[in-house]
Chain A
């Protein structure tokens, strides 16, 4: 039923297609990439040291060090998706658990948990992420961790609202009446209902996480060179914007398409799984 709705949604299918392409590009990078992403080709720079524009030898041109841009973009998909999947996965797990606990635990504990998310909402997430990654010595794993620790709040709030309405439903009351323990109710009766929400955020969140990682790498506090990352490529070449625009435009397009794909997929999933919650 949900699949039928999903398969009739053109935007969602476009999203699914984009996501599949990006994931394949990341997985198959060693075979798809025409060159070694870190090799500095002697003919990759013109005689006066400028990067080569897109052409036959280098499909998307070369970067400032004469490396093949297409190969670097394909390998860069790995960093983006790795951070996207892991950081967002952790964020969704924390968010679902905190939201569910906050919703089920009445009284002080529930209030405390939700007040804590209020405080987190008052923080400028991006600003904090930049400060933390910069001071902690940036690396792929620090970036992943920082993004995960900042991004769970939105999920927790959605899940909390859902659990509060779930716990008033008859089947939860019935389970309580026959003496089921709190953890059993959580596992058997509440968590399964949160699966669609987790799926939707699992996709939408990757869209935001990919943007966040790209932004951090662009500022130089994300994935570190020589590991190719899309934001990092733009960071290296932004001062060559007017002479070598492909070095900024191509990686940017890759970020845009990835984020767009996961956003479209997430919205499509939301519409398919919950036809009443259309926005």
Chain B
């Protein structure tokens, strides 16, 4: 297990290194001229030239990347072109808001997805099953920005239950977290349903039933414990989906997190901030998946990685 964990960590580091190179070269190859953008449209050619030198943009690509990577390894993500602040400080100031949003979304996904999935599995082929599967399909097909606007219209504007947007306590968090997590809740329900159906057909469940244990006891004690294992890796995968989703959700609700930060940066082509947030997201995604794998290894003794 130790060798597996070690090789998994090494592999994650490799993924991150290549991810940083790819992000950097993608942005580098774009036709936009950052020096011109920083200087503004009315600046003279000389000013643009001196800004280009100052930002190191006149150096060859490999030198720029090596310099960036060197700083990156010391935790330095460079400085924003537009705001006179370090990118790391900008990310640090926003990460807590986004973290709250993701935590809320995962909580709602589990709160909705688990019971719905169990309900569907226990009533397989009947109307609860069809209802839950329909919900899952709708959740996967609804555009997030539209879901957010509709929830605002119905629950915040129509019924006055929640604030229209902005950052604050739990009442501010509920609608954006629901928007971010509703699609995932349907996905969780589907996976729990099929994994529970699979477990319920196993021999040890039949044995438990034959011993005369009640239906609910069999489900809770024997079947569920084995059916929730995929949920751990799904939460890991979710983080990756969320990293994109927050751009949309934070823009609809005016939530001051990483999504807003990168969206504002994209609109003014503030490249260090864009590259910084993408690399930071790749780091979080890789960490989340690594953690999910390791947790699964701990809770499920049947998994043996080679």
Q: Which residue of B lies closest to A251 (CB)?
A: B146
Contact of A242 with B153 in the complex, beta carbons under 8 Å? yes
Inside 8 A of A123's CB, which chain B residues have their CB?
19, 22-23, 278, 281-282, 285
Contact of A135 with B141 in the complex, beta carbons under 8 Å? no
Contact of A264 with B137 in the complex, beta carbons under 8 Å? yes
Inside 8 A of B6's CB, which chain A residues have their CB?
none
B295 sits at the interface (CB 8 A):
no
B277 sits at the interface (CB 8 A):
yes
B168 sits at the interface (CB 8 A):
no
Q: A275 to nearest B CB, angstroms?
A: 15
Inside 8 A of B278's CB, which chain A residues have their CB?
123-124, 127-128, 131
CA distance A278 to B243 in the complex (A): 29
B132 sits at the interface (CB 8 A):
no
- Please report which residues of chain B, range 173-205, place their CB below 8 angstroms from some CB of chain A when the two chains form the complex: 190, 194
CA distance A263 to B136 in the complex (A): 11
Inside 8 A of A81's CB, which chain B residues have their CB?
none
Contact of A248 with B141 in the complex, beta carbons under 8 Å? no
Q: B237 to nearest A CB, angstroms?
A: 9
Q: Which residue of A lies closest to B183 (CB)?
A: A211
Contact of A252 with B150 in the complex, beta carbons under 8 Å? yes
Inside 8 A of A267's CB, which chain B residues have their CB?
137
Interface size on B, residues (CB 8 A): 51
| A124-B30 contact in complex given A118-B15, A231-B143, C-beta closer than 8 Å | no
Contact of B243 with A218 in the complex, beta carbons under 8 Å? no
Contact of B146 with A255 in the complex, beta carbons under 8 Å? yes
CA distance A259 to B144 in the complex (A): 12
Contact of B141 with A136 in the complex, beta carbons under 8 Å? no
Inside 8 A of A260's CB, which chain B residues have their CB?
137-138, 141
Contact of B18 with A119 in the complex, beta carbons under 8 Å? yes
| A127-B267 contact in complex given A135-B32, A263-B141, C-beta closer than 8 Å | no
Q: Which residue of B lies closest to A134 (CB)?
A: B266
Inside 8 A of B243's CB, which chain A residues have their CB?
124, 126-127
A225 sits at the interface (CB 8 A):
no
- Please report which residues of chain B, range 154-181, place their CB below 8 angstroms from some CB of chain A when the two chains form the complex: 157
Contact of B149 with A130 in the complex, beta carbons under 8 Å? no
Contact of B244 with A211 in the complex, beta carbons under 8 Å? no
Q: A158 to nearest B CB, angstroms?
A: 15
Contact of B247 with A126 in the complex, beta carbons under 8 Å? yes
| A211-B143 contact in complex given A119-B22, A123-B19, A241-B149, C-beta closer than 8 Å | yes
Contact of A135 with B247 in the complex, beta carbons under 8 Å? no
Contact of B248 with A215 in the complex, beta carbons under 8 Å? yes
Q: A152 to nearest B CB, angstroms?
A: 15
Indicate with 1 or 0, residue by residue over A216-239, a CB within 8 angstroms of chain B CB atoms: 001101000000000100100010
Q: B198 to nearest A CB, angstroms?
A: 10
B263 sits at the interface (CB 8 A):
yes
| A234-B157 contact in complex given A126-B247, A127-B243, C-beta closer than 8 Å | no
Q: A109 to nearest B CB, angstroms?
A: 17
Inside 8 A of B108's CB, which chain A residues have their CB?
none
CA distance A255 to B144 in the complex (A): 11
Q: B201 to nearest A CB, angstroms?
A: 13
Indicate with 1 or 0, residue by residue over A125-158, a CB within 8 angstroms of chain B CB atoms: 1111111101110000000000000000000000
CA distance A198 to B150 in the complex (A): 35
CA distance A207 to B143 in the complex (A): 11
Contact of A121 with B247 in the complex, beta carbons under 8 Å? no
Partner of B248, one of A121, A125, A218, A245: A218
B269 sits at the interface (CB 8 A):
yes
Contact of A234 with B149 in the complex, beta carbons under 8 Å? yes
Contact of B27 with A252 in the complex, beta carbons under 8 Å? no
A105 sits at the interface (CB 8 A):
no
Contact of A121 with B140 in the complex, beta carbons under 8 Å? no
CA distance A242 to B190 in the complex (A): 34
Inside 8 A of A259's CB, which chain B residues have their CB?
140-143
A122 sits at the interface (CB 8 A):
yes
B145 sits at the interface (CB 8 A):
yes
Contact of A136 with B143 in the complex, beta carbons under 8 Å? no
Partner of A127, one of B32, B144, B277: B277
Contact of B138 with A256 in the complex, beta carbons under 8 Å? yes
Contact of A255 with B137 in the complex, beta carbons under 8 Å? no
Partner of A124, one of B15, B157, B244, B266: B244
Partner of A211, one of B141, B194, B267, B277: B141
Instruction: From A127, A135, A256, name the one whose CB has the most chain B CB atoms within 10 angstroms.
Output: A127
B31 sits at the interface (CB 8 A):
yes
Q: A77 to nearest B CB, angstroms?
A: 15
| Given A134-B267, A252-B146, A256-B142; 13 other pairs, CB 8 A cutoff | A119-B22, A123-B278, A123-B285, A124-B282, A134-B266, A135-B266, A136-B31, A221-B266, A242-B157, A263-B137, A264-B137, A267-B137, A279-B194
**16 cross-chain CB contacts under 8 A:** A122-B16, A123-B278, A127-B243, A127-B247, A136-B30, A215-B144, A219-B263, A231-B143, A234-B145, A241-B153, A245-B153, A248-B149, A255-B146, A256-B141, A259-B142, A260-B137
